[in-house]
Amino acid sequence: MESEFTEIALKMIVILGGAKLLAVLLERVGQEAVLGELLLGIVLGPSVLRLLDPKGDPVLAFLAELGIVVLVFYIGLVAELDLFIRAWRPSLRVALVGMAIFLGAGTLVGLGAGLSLLGALFLGAALMATSMGKAGRLLVATQRMLLPAGMTVLGAALLDDLIALWLLAGLQAWAGPRPFRWELFVLEGLGSLLFLVGGLWLGVRLAPRLFRLLESLETRGMIIVAALVFCLGLAVAAKGLGLALIVGAFAAGLMLEYVHHERQITRQVETLVDLFVPFYFVKAGALLDLALLTEWKVLVSVLGLTAFAIAGKLLSGLGAERGQRWLVGVGMIPRGEVGLIFATAGLELGLLSKELYAALLAMILLTTFITPLLLRFSLRRAPL
């Protein structure tokens, strides 16, 4: 037992300490912490040091699963629906144009590359989802978040996340052991939507009362523990209904946005994000076979996917208001958490090859590096 504890503790020390150290270094050069976590996973995984087994380590698998549940819970908490309401028309247009491009052309590209229809849809969805966190950080850094184009970017990114979570629930059900039927796929997606809408409707009414009652108990740590229990409970409930864990976690975050302690909960959940989310992205990095990136076919795929990912988002900017289209398109380019979720799920379900996973991961890294440069160049020409 002691040897198992020592082994797990050492892995946690290396992952958490290494991830934070790389985050500090990368943030000093204007990049995101998630890049450090992915790079750390690549180094610790089978490609380099072979200290982590991303497929056969149950502790890492549990911590990574918990990390993604906490991350999606946090996304729900910070997804300010008021911002979307203030710019819902251009946000909806931008999101729908992007969805049509990536689920349409992206799926056709996947089918042309020999993927199954399900695998091609996973590829299209992985290319579609803008990183709301990265887009938001860029807008904050350039002091443009609350201006019209900034709100359009955030609203469209929020819609991207909602659509992507809906698709993920349906696609995972499709990939399950049951025989596929289109009506079940549609019902699965509608079930996710109803779970979100119904949960939000109930949460707005019941969650504030529940947390006021818990506050009256005056026990240290009650609010954050209750919030985490609420998140895990809804995640398990969603799983029990045949939906994805992340659907329940996202619904929990949206519900708690309306409680009196929302800011306190958000600050404390940020600590949980810092603690658990690195395990997910380190595992995602460890799944990458670095040797594949030396193959010319994979390099061609990386360049092709990156060019398509950038061009598609620039075209999605056509849905924005005149004078904002280029800048909104640039703001929609960065990929991140949700795209990685799709790519990792597709790999683990056997729908995406190791080569395609490597190309997708490289595309996510490249769009993360490129977007700040494009945005700064764009801001010299026109205000956002």
Mean pLDDT across 166-188: 69
pLDDT at 30 over 60: yes
pLDDT tens track for 245-303: 777 887 888 788 777 677 888 899 989 988 998 998 898 888 877 888 888 888 999 99
CA dist 215 → 56, 221, 253, 277, 366 (Å): 42, 10, 19, 28, 46
For the chain, give the number of residues.
384
pLDDT band at 211 (very low <50, low <70, confident <90, very high): confident
pLDDT tens track for 54-103: 878 999 999 998 988 898 788 778 766 666 567 778 888 999 999 999 98
pLDDT tens track for 100-133: 999 899 889 889 888 888 889 888 988 988 876 6
Whether 356 contacts 123, CB under 8 Å: yes
pLDDT at 316 over 90: yes
Output the pTM of the full model: 0.74
- Joined tokens for residue 324: 């904002």
The CATH fold of domain 2-381: Na+/H+ antiporter like fold (1.20.1530)
Dist. CA 381–CA 384, nearest whole Å: 10
Domain positions in the chain are 2-381
pLDDT tens track for 192-202: 667 767 777 77
pLDDT tens track for 351-362: 888 889 888 988
Dist. CA 52–CA 10, nearest whole Å: 11
What pLDDT score does 113 carry?
A: 84
Ramachandran class of 227: left when φ > 0, alpha when ψ lies in -120 to 50, beta otherwise? alpha
What pLDDT score does 384 carry?
A: 46
Mean pLDDT across 151-166: 77
Dist. CA 125–CA 130, nearest whole Å: 10
